Amino acid sequence: MLNPMSVMVLLEGEFRRLVLWGPVLLALGALAYFVWPYEPGYGAGLLLPACIAVVGLGACFYWRGSLAARLGGGAGVALAVGFAAAWLAAHRQPPMPELPRRATELTGIVQDVAYFPALSGQGGPVRRVTLAHGVLHDFVDDGMAPLRRSLSIRLAPQDEGSVAPGDGLRVRVVLQPPPFPALPGGRDKQFEAWFSGQAGGGYALAGAQVEPGQPQKLFGYQHALTMLRQRVDARIRQILPGSSGTVVATLLAGRAESVPQNVREDFAASGLAHLLAVAGLHLGIVMGAAMLVCRMGLAAWEYAALRWPCKAIAAGTAWVVGGGYVLLTGAHLPAERSWMMSSVVVLGLVVGRRAVSMRGLALAATIMLLVAPQVVLDVAFQMSMAAVMALVAGYEALQLRILRWVSGMSGAKHTLARHGVMLVLTSLLAGTATLPVVMAHFGVVQPFFVLANLVAVPLMALWIMPLGLVALVAMPLHVDAPFLHLMSGGVRVVLWLAHCVAGWPGARIAVPAMPGWGLAAVLLGLCWLCLWRGAWRWWGMPVVLLGTITPWLVTQPDILISPDGQLMGVKDVATLRVMGHARDERALKAAWAQALALPVSDFSGTGENRAETADGSLLCGESEVAGTCALLRYGQEVILRIHDPSDGRIPLPDDVCAQAAAVVSVAPLRVSCPHVPVRLDRFSAWRGGAQAVFLAHGVRVTSDRQKQGERLWVLKPGGHGMPTLPLAQAE
C-alpha cells in the first residue's frame, strides 16, 4: 500500500515527465466546461478560473521548494486555463440563426464545391456547395443582415451549371437546422456545427443561377487555395473516373467526401480507414520524400555538401513542403497536429537535439487545446493523439530490444527484418491504442487490421504517395496522366485488399455504445501507461481494460424515441423493432443500430391485423384501437400508439390504459391515460428531444435535453435559433 511519501518519491523519479501531463490537464479542464450541466456565466466561466490560476501560481512561487505545492498549483492552473479557453472558444462563436421553415430564395457567395456519391449508388455525383454571407429573401427576413454562418446546400440533380468558389449564387432552397442527437448521449451535430461556423443545410428546389450583382471572387489566400484544390480535384476526376480516382483525390486534394460508401465500409471493416484520412502517415511520407530528394541533391553538389548544413536545409525544405501539403488537402485536424509535431522535429534536427519525443507531442497538443479546445471531443484528435502517444512510448521501450535482436543479422536480411518488425510494431501499437476510440465513436472492432496494414502501408509509402507527389509537380505541365495512372494501379490493389479483408468472417464486429465515462477511462489509462516510465505505468492497463468493456457493463434502453416523437424502437433479444415514420428515418435507424449493436427491422402495427414478436413481448392489433401495441417486459406494461389519424383528439379507452405503467404516443396524448405515471408523446419529444426508456427497475426515462443541458450550441425546442434582426435604416 502506497503512502504519500512513497508517492512523492515516485514522482521525483519521474520529474522530467511531469510536464507531459500539462496538456492532459488542459484537456480535462476543457472537458469540464463541455460537460457542465448548464451554461456558466462570466463569473464561473472567467472570473473563477482566473482566481484559481492566480492562487495556483502563488502556491508555486511561495512554496517553490515543495514538489507537492508545485504539482497542486500547476494542476490548478492547467485545469483553470483549459476551462476558461473552452468558455472563450464557445462564446466567440456567432449565434445560431433562425432558419425559415418553408421554401425561400437564398443568395450567397460560394466558398466550396464538393462532390458526393449518389445515395442509391446510381447516377452521377451530387454537388453540394457551401455558401457564405447568405441572405434570405422572403417577407419575414427581408432587410436582414447576411448570415454570419455558412450553409451547406445540395444542388438539384438536373442542375448542370458551372459553379466555382467565389461565385455569387441565387437559388430557391428548403433549409434545415442541425439535427438533434438521435438518442440521449448520441452524436451531437449541433455541437459540431456551432464550432465549425455552420448554420445548417438544405437542398435546392430548382437550378441555381449566378447572381450578376454579387462579388465574383473571394479575396485572399483561402480563395486561392480553394481554387487550387478544385482544379486538382477536377483534373484527377477527369483522368481517373471511378473509385480509385476518388481515393486519389482524397490523398492529393483532401476530397474524401466523393469516396463511395461501399469503399468506406470496406476500408473501415479492414482497419484501413486511416488511409482515407490525411494525417501523420501521409504527411510523414511527403516530408520524408521531400527531405530525401533535397538531401541527395545537395549531396551531389560538391560546393553545398562541403560548406552548407545540408541536413538542416533538407529538414526545412521538407517542413515547407509538408505545410503546403496540409493546406492543399484542406488543413484538417489530424494533418495540423502532425505538421505541428513535424515543426518540433525539424527544430530538433536543426539544433541537434532529439527529434521525435513525447515532449513534441505534448507541445502540439497544448497548442491545439489552447487554440481550439473543442477538439478534446473530436474523434480525429483522440485517435491521432492516442496513436502517436502509443508509438512514441512503444518505441522508447522496445526499440533497443529490436535493434539488439536484428544486430546478429547482416546485409539484406538485417534490413528486411528490421523494417518488417518496425512495420508490424507500428501497426500493432497504433491500432491497439485507437481500438477503444473506434469502438466508442463507430461501434465496431476490426480484428484483422494488422494483417491489412502489413500490405497497404508499405504500398502507400513506397508506391502510391511518391507517385502522387510526382503527379502534383507534373500537373501544371499537363504531363501528370502517366503518374496518376500508375498511382491508381497501387490504389486499386489497396481497394482489392480492403474488399477481401472486409469479406472475411468476423472482419467487422459490432459493439454497443460506450458511455462517455468509459472513453474517458480509456484515454486517461492510456496516458498513465504511456507518459510514465517506471513500473507503476502498468497501473493504467486495468483502467484501459475497464473502459474498453464498459459497453457491456451499462444497461441498454428498452425503448428509443426519435427527437420528433414520430419513430419508436423496441429492443428485442437480437433485433431492434422500429415502428412509425420520421423525416430523418434512415439516419435515425443507422444511429440506433450502431448504439445498440443490433440489426434494425420494421415492425408493422399500424393496421388492424394482429402482429406479434417471437417471444410474445410485443403485441399489436389486440385492442379495438388501430395502431396501438403493448409491450410486456420485466412485469411492466407499456402502451405504444404508433399511428393516430385523429392526432390525439380521440382518447384511448380506459381499459387500454388500466394496467399500463407508461404510454408512448406519436400524437399528443391530451386527455388520454391521465392516470398513467409516465406519459410520453410528441410534445414531450419536442421539449426534451430524443428519449430512452428503461424498464428493468421500474420505468425510467432519460431525455437528450437532460444529457445536454441548456448550452449555447443546443437549439431551442423545435430546432429554433436566434431570430436575425433587420439592418438599421440609413438616415
What span, in angstroms and rounded, lies between the C-alpha atoms of 475 and 484? 10
Residue 664, C-beta contacts closer than 8 angstroms, at least 6 positions apart: 559, 561, 568, 638, 639, 640, 641, 680, 681, 693
Listed range (404-408, 582-586, 661-665) with the worst mean pLDDT: 404-408
Return the exposure string of 520-535: e unless at least 16 CB atoms fall within 10 Å of the residue's CB, then b: bbbbbbbbbbbbbeee
- Read off the pLDDT of each residue in 399-420 and give the average, rounded to a whole number: 70
Using an 8 Å Cβ cutoff, are 274 and 281 in contact?
A: yes
Residue type (1 letter), 629? C
What span, in angstroms and rounded, lies between the C-alpha atoms of 590 and 182? 9
Residues 259-276 pLDDT 10s:
888 898 888 888 888 888
Dihedral sign for Cα atoms in the order 360, 423, 538, 5:
negative
* Whether pLDDT at 113 is above 60: yes
Residues 9-18 pLDDT 10s:
777 778 888 9
pLDDT at 12: 79
What span, in angstroms and rounded, lies between the C-alpha atoms of 335 and 327? 9
3-state SS assignment for residue 45:
helix
What span, in angstroms and rounded, lies between the C-alpha atoms of 447 and 128? 35
CATH number for the segment(s) 104-219: 2.40.50
* Whether pLDDT at 39 is above 80: yes
Using an 8 Å Cβ cutoff, are 159 and 204 in contact?
A: yes
What span, in angstroms and rounded, lies between the C-alpha atoms of 104 and 149? 17
pLDDT at 216: 44
Tell me what percent of the residues of the chain surpass a pLDDT of 70: 93
pLDDT at 354: 60
Q: Distance between terminal CA atoms of the chain? A: 78
What span, in angstroms and rounded, lies between the C-alpha atoms of 447 and 510? 11
DSSP string, 158-195: T------TT-EEEEEEEEEPPPPPSSTTS--HHHHHHH
Residues 467-491 pLDDT 10s:
999 999 999 988 999 999 999 999 9
What span, in angstroms and rounded, lies between the C-alpha atoms of 175 and 153? 8
What span, in angstroms and rounded, lies between the C-alpha atoms of 641 and 145? 44
Residue 177, C-beta contacts closer than 8 angstroms, at least 6 positions apart: 96, 99, 190, 199, 200, 715, 719, 720, 721
Q: pTM value? A: 0.89
What span, in angstroms and rounded, lies between the C-alpha atoms of 421 and 440? 29
Number of Cβ atoms within 10 Å of the Cβ of 394: 18
Residues 693-723 pLDDT 10s:
999 888 999 999 998 888 999 999 888 888 8
For residue 555, give the DSSP letter.
P
Using an 8 Å Cβ cutoff, are 537 and 524 in contact?
A: no
Residues 584-617 pLDDT 10s:
889 999 999 999 999 999 887 554 556 777 777 8
Residue 96, C-beta contacts closer than 8 angstroms, at least 6 positions apart: 149, 177, 178, 190, 193, 194, 199, 713, 715, 721, 722
Q: Among residues 666, 575, 563, 679, which one has the least CA distance to residue 618?
A: 575
User: Phi, psi at residue 208, to the nearest 5°?
Assistant: -90, 155
pLDDT at 598: 93
Break the chain into its structural domains and give their ranges.
Answer: 1-92, 104-219, 559-708
| Cell numbers at 414, concatenated | 538485417
Residues 204-235 pLDDT 10s:
998 888 775 444 444 466 778 888 888 898 89
DSSP string, 606-658: SSSS-EE-TTSSEEES-SSSTTEEEEEETTEEEEEE---TTTT-SPPPHHHHT
